[in-house]
């Protein structure tokens, strides 16, 4: 007898090719299965209402025909249907994120999806407890997307492990700046613990990701962030320099935008 999957996922997205790709990817997954799908907001509400006990997590696109993702969220709230929601989006407009965050989604994830990242968010979603303070959700969700877009611009490939470790490290450094002097003693162990790996593997994967990105990233963005302290032809930033500098960049720009919103 086939073992029942632990997490049942419903996907709502008008991109049929993307939905098909997700179904193929999770077909043999040990813990996640896609059990329902819809391709516009109007159909999604009906499918959700008819199957509210038959799925555990909702992956929801924002921009769709007939009715959009915000309509779906509004209808679920009216009907008292509470499910962990992961929002898929291809942009990070502050106004939209603030509006959507009032519905307490578990995560925002930037398209195109990094499958490992999506897996982690789905697995995490079942343990989600909504915050009473929507501003905290706006803060964390917008921070995640800002880090993702910045790393993409710097040329860090999203399919390698070092990408996930760097992103987690930047967010940790942003939220706990006091660990700046304890990268190896505190930051690496925390990342290793979250990804169930070793400190040495975290260090190596981050170093490899930086090496790969150094020949792929947007030169203007790299110069803006790292300034002239780095000779692109000879020296790459160390792991610590990379994480701390990117974190500082986000702190200067992102924190101001949150305060002024």
Output the DSSP codes for 105-139: -SEEEESSPPHHHHHHHHHHHTT----S-HHHHHH
* Structure tokens belonging to residue 6: 């632990």
**Helix H or strand E encompassing 192:** helix 188-194
- Positive or negative: CA dihedral 36, 115, 154, 178: positive
Among the listed residues 190, 178, 235, 229, the one whose alpha carbon sits nearest the alpha carbon of residue 210 = 235
> What is the three-class DSSP state of 12?
strand
pLDDT at 23: 92
Bond preceding residue 112 cis, omega within 30 of 0: yes
pLDDT given for residue 158 in this prediction: 76
Which part of the chain is CATH 3.40.50.2300?
7-130
The domain over range 151-260 is classified in CATH as 3.90.320.10: no
The residue among 135, 145, 156 whose CA lies nearest residue 107 is 145
The position carrying tokens 């790299």 is 222
d(CA 25, CA 36): 15
| Dihedral over alpha carbons 225, 226, 232, 238 (to 10 degrees) | -120
Output the pLDDT for position 130: 47
Residue 89, classed as helix, strand or coil, is strand
What is the pTM assigned to this prediction?
0.58
| pLDDT for the residue 141 | 59
pLDDT score, position 5: 57
CB 106 within 8 A of CB 84: yes
CA distance 7 to 222: 40
* Rounded distance between C-alpha atoms, residue 159 and residue 144, angstroms: 17
Interatomic CA distance for residues 149 and 60, integer angstroms: 20
Residues 6+ apart with CB under 8 A from 13: 19, 37, 39, 59, 60, 61, 64, 88
The SS3 call for residue 7 is strand
- The residue written with tokens 């990117």 in the block is 246
Q: Which helix (H) or strand (E) holds 9?
A: strand 7-12
pLDDT along the chain (261 residues), means of 10: 69 93 90 93 94 93 89 93 87 65 80 81 71 46 74 82 89 83 87 90 93 79 70 69 87 60 49
Helix or strand (DSSP H, E) at 58: strand 57-61
In the chain, CATH 1.10.10.10 covers 151-260
The dotted CATH code for 7-130 is: 3.40.50.2300
pLDDT at res. 110: 77
């Amino acid at each position: 007898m086939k073992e029942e999957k632990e997490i049942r996922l419903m996907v709502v997205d008008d991109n049929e090719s993307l939905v098909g790709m997700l179904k193929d990817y999770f077909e043999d997954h040990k813990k996640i299965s896609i059990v329902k799908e819809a391709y516009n907001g109007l159909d999604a509400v009906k499918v959700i209402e008819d199957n509210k006990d038959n799925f555990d997590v909702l992956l929801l696109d924002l921009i769709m025909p007939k009715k959009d993702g915000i309509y779906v969220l509004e209808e679920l709230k009216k009907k008292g249907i509470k499910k962990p929601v992961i929002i898929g989006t291809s942009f990070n407009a502050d106004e939209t994120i603030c509006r959507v965050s009032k519905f307490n989604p578990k995560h925002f994830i930037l398209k195109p999806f990094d499958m490992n990242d999506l897996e982690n968010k789905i697995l995490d979603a079942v343990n989600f407890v909504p915050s009473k303070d929507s501003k905290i959700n706006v803060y964390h969700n917008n921070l995640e997307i800002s880090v993702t877009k910045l790393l993409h611009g710097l040329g860090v490939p999203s399919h390698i492990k070092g990408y996930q470790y760097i992103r987690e490290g930047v967010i940790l450094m942003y939220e706990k700046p006091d660990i700046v002097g304890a990268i190896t003693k505190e930051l690496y162990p925390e990342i290793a613990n979250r990804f169930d790996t070793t400190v040495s593997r975290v260090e190596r994967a981050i170093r490899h990701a930086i090496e790969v990105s150094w020949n792929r990233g947007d030169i203007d963005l790299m110069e803006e962030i790292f300034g002239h302290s780095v000779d692109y032809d000879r020296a790459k930033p160390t792991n610590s320099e990379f994480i701390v500098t990117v974190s500082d960049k986000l702190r200067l720009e992102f924190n101001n935008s949150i305060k002024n919103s």
